[in-house]
Amino acid sequence: MQSQTHTALALGIDIGTSGVRIAAVDSEGRMKGFAAKGFTRREERHSPAAWWSCVEECFGTLAGQVDLNLVAAVSVDGTSGTVLALDSSLIPRGRALMYDETCPDPAIVSRLDALVPESSTARGPYSALARAVYLARKHGARHIVHQADWIAIRLGASITSDENNALKTGYDLETGTWPEWIQESGLGLEVLPEVKPAGSVIGPVGEQAVALGLPPSAVIVNGTTDGCASFLATGASEPGDGVTALGSTLVLKLLSDRRIDAPAYGVYSHRIAGMWLAGGASNTGGAVIRHFFEDRDLPALTARLEPDRPTGLDYYPLLGPGERFPVNDPALPPRLEPRPADNATFFQALLEGIAAVEDQGYRRLEALGAPALRSVRSVGGGAANEAWARIRQKRLGVPFLPALSTEAAVGTALLAWRVLRQ
């Protein structure tokens, strides 16, 4: 039976690496409905048709939970740096190139490295711009768009991107334009989408969105990247609010009232909702822990942690040499000695080491001009470890607050709600 909410709703659509999620959120930020559809084969993550099929299935599920006629706005987030080519009829040509794929043509990367300013995030083999140039050449593309852009286009949006997704493709936040030097790479600026700030209204939904159950009065709000959406989902909203992602790697994001960019440390900022989201990613994290311990062993080891009795071991947990943030040293060696005989002590020392890197990371952001850390919310698999949270809080010395949600789709819906409130 369908559950009526009787209040306006905003939808957030998250196109992730494993599938699609859609959240329906009310004006108080409460999730009233949620649907998810995972990709069944790995190659579907590259397939725009598979993305859209999952969106359609999620809408069918969501219709059984909420009244879609109450939806006032819809917004989309996607994986940062994922691009695809479209023909003149807005039909995808070939598969998308994902955020974690290098450009298939090294010559394009070399050419861009000679053109792209040092401060730009469009440099290197993982450059979204390099992938865009490659796709445009390969398919004679009429348009190059990002993952979130294309789903919004299917919902009725014009060929528009947001500042967050466009950043890694070379968009210049200072001038608010695609820079002229992009044309020297062989990619015409007319192929790239118009760019508007994340959280701005693009226009009303189209026929395909109405066919999915949305009312014609609903508007499409310009989305963001999955990382920015995940930050917004936590409820962090004030300068100095930090979000730590404890996954395979350690990723820090800090809300700032000013732009912080330091490419040498892998630090760059997204502009979102009138603020700046500064961040960096370390090579330490859960992948190091899984190198030494099986997942099945972690609960027993966690039960033996003693957060109030530090091991005194000064570890810098890495799988191999090299660190990019908060230390910029491609030769930085792992520091994992001496190893105690007791596995629980070794496990705690690893967690303490990662906490030390987290502390150093937030201090690095502050040293670069970001506000001082005032609170932390945690997401990712490691966020559930309460003993580790105590280790980290003792190290950081700020309040640890619960995340409102860990679903990127909720963050994207909250972004849409900012427009509705205005």
CA distance 15 to 148: 7
Contact criterion met (CB below 8 Å) for 246 and 234: no
Reading the block at residue 62, the tokens are 């969501």
Q: Which candidate, 149, 195, 200, places its Cα nearest to that of 176?
A: 195
Reported confidence tier of residue 420, pLDDT bands at 50, 70, 90 = confident
Q: Which candidate, 140, 135, 83, places its Cα nearest to that of 104?
A: 135
CA distance 81 to 126: 9
pLDDT at 12 over 60: yes
Q: What is the pLDDT of residue 126?
A: 85
Q: What is the pLDDT of residue 121?
A: 82
Sequence-ordered list of residues with C-beta below 8 angstroms from that of 367, at least 6 positions apart, any chain: none
Sequence-ordered list of residues with C-beta below 8 angstroms from that of 148, at least 6 positions apart, any chain: 15, 76, 77, 78, 161, 162, 165, 223, 224, 225
CA distance 204 to 218: 6
- pLDDT per position as a tens digit, 200-233: 999 999 999 999 999 999 999 999 999 899 999 9
pLDDT at 6 over 70: no
pLDDT at 3 over 70: no
On the CB side of 165, CA atoms within 13 Å amount to 35
Contact criterion met (CB below 8 Å) for 185 and 127: no
Q: What is the pLDDT of residue 100?
A: 83
CA distance 20 to 11: 13
Mean pLDDT of 296-303: 96
Walk me through the domains of the chain, giving residue ranges and CATH numbers: 9-227+408-421 (3.30.420.40), 236-396 (3.30.420.40)
Beta bridge pairs of residue 376? 242, 400
Reported confidence tier of residue 125, pLDDT bands at 50, 70, 90 = confident
Q: Which candidate, 279, 308, 250, 287, places its Cα nearest to that of 368?
A: 279
pLDDT at 5 over 80: no
Q: What is the pLDDT of residue 1?
A: 33
- pLDDT per position as a tens digit, 267-295: 989 998 789 999 998 999 999 999 999 99
Cis ω for the linkage preceding 402 (within 30 of 0): no
Contact criterion met (CB below 8 Å) for 226 and 359: no
Beta bridge pairs of residue 166? none
The proportion of the chain whose per-residue pLDDT surpasses 70, expressed as a percent, equals 99
- pLDDT, the chain, mean: 94
Coil, strand or helix: which one is 85? strand
- pLDDT per position as a tens digit, 65-116: 999 999 999 999 999 899 999 999 999 999 999 988 889 999 999 999 899 8
The proportion of the chain whose per-residue pLDDT surpasses 90, expressed as a percent, equals 84
pTM as predicted: 0.87
Beta bridge pairs of residue 270? 277
- pLDDT per position as a tens digit, 373-406: 999 999 988 999 999 999 999 999 999 999 999 8
Contact criterion met (CB below 8 Å) for 257 and 285: no
